[in-house]
Amino acid sequence: MVGFLKTVIFFTFVKLTLCDTCDPNHGTEGVYDCVRIPKYNGYQWAVCLSSQSLRKYTGRHMGCRGSAYCWLPCTQSVYPEIRKGHIAKECVCDPTENERRKRSLALEGREARVKVPPDCYIPAMDNNCQWYSKCLEAHSSCEGSDSNYAISYGKAICSIFLEEYNSFSEDGKSWIRSSQKCIEDRLRSVLMPNNTEDCRNIRDRAYRVHSDCYFQNRNAKFCNLLGTDQQKIYWSIKQVYEHAFREKFDEGMAKFRSCLRNDVYGHQRKFMFYVEKDSEEIIDENEFATSLVAQFDFSSHGIDWDVDKMTNSRKKREVNKLKGYQIVGIFVSRKQVNLVERSRRSANEPHLRKSLDTEYDADFLESLNISITNELKNNALTVLNIDKSLRAKRAIGWVAVTAGNVFSRCFNLSPVILCFPLWIGCIRSLLLIHSYRQGVLPDTPDDIDPRFYFYSVNKNDIQLRFSDVSSFSHFDPSKKTYIIVHGFLNNKEKSWISDMRRNILSEVDANVIVVDWEKGADHLGHYEQAAVNTEVVGTILALLVRSLEDHQGAKKSHIHIIGHSLGAHVAGFAGSAHKETRYQRITGIDPAGPFFNTKGSDARLDETDAHFVDVIHTDGGGLGYLNALGHLDFYPNGGQSQPGCLLTCSHSRAYELFTESILSNQTFKAWECDTLDQCKTGKGIDTDTSEDNRMGFYVDDTKKYKMYYLRTNKASPYDIAAHAVKAT
| Distance from chain centroid for Cα 68 | 59
| Distance separating alpha carbons of residues 225 and 260, to the nearest angstrom | 9
Count CB atoms within 10 A of the CB of residue 323.
12
Main-chain dihedrals φ then ψ at residue 92, nearest 5 degrees? -70, 140
| Distance separating alpha carbons of residues 313 and 308, to the nearest angstrom | 10
- With contact defined as beta carbons under 8 Å apart, do 450 and 516 qualify? yes
434-438: list long-range contacts, CB under 8 Å, 24+ apart: 435/528, 435/531, 435/532, 435/595, 436/528, 436/595, 437/528, 438/314
Sequence-distant (≥ 6) Cβ neighbours of residue 201 within 8 angstroms: none
| Distance separating alpha carbons of residues 24 and 11, to the nearest angstrom | 15
Catalytic, 147? Answer no
Angle between helices 249-259 and 227-244 (to 10 degrees): 180
Catalytic, 590? Answer yes
Q: Which residues pair with 32 in a beta bridge?
A: 47
| Distance separating alpha carbons of residues 307 and 238, to the nearest angstrom | 11
| Distance separating alpha carbons of residues 151 and 351, to the nearest angstrom | 11
Q: How far is CA 453 from CA 306, 407, 461, 497, 504, in A?
A: 45, 42, 5, 12, 15
Sequence-distant (≥ 6) Cβ neighbours of residue 380 within 8 angstroms: none
| Distance separating alpha carbons of residues 574 and 571, to the nearest angstrom | 5
Q: How many residues does the chain have?
A: 728
Helices of type H across 489-552: 495-507, 518-521, 527-552
Spot the catalytic one: 189, 619, 651, 661: 651
Spot the catalytic one: 140, 414, 429, 565: 565
- With contact defined as beta carbons under 8 Å apart, do 532 and 442 qualify? yes
**3-state class of 577 per DSSP?**
coil
Spot the catalytic one: 308, 590, 609, 619: 590
| Distance separating alpha carbons of residues 46 and 91, to the nearest angstrom | 9
Catalytic, 576? Answer no
- Annotated catalytic sites, by residue? 565, 590, 651
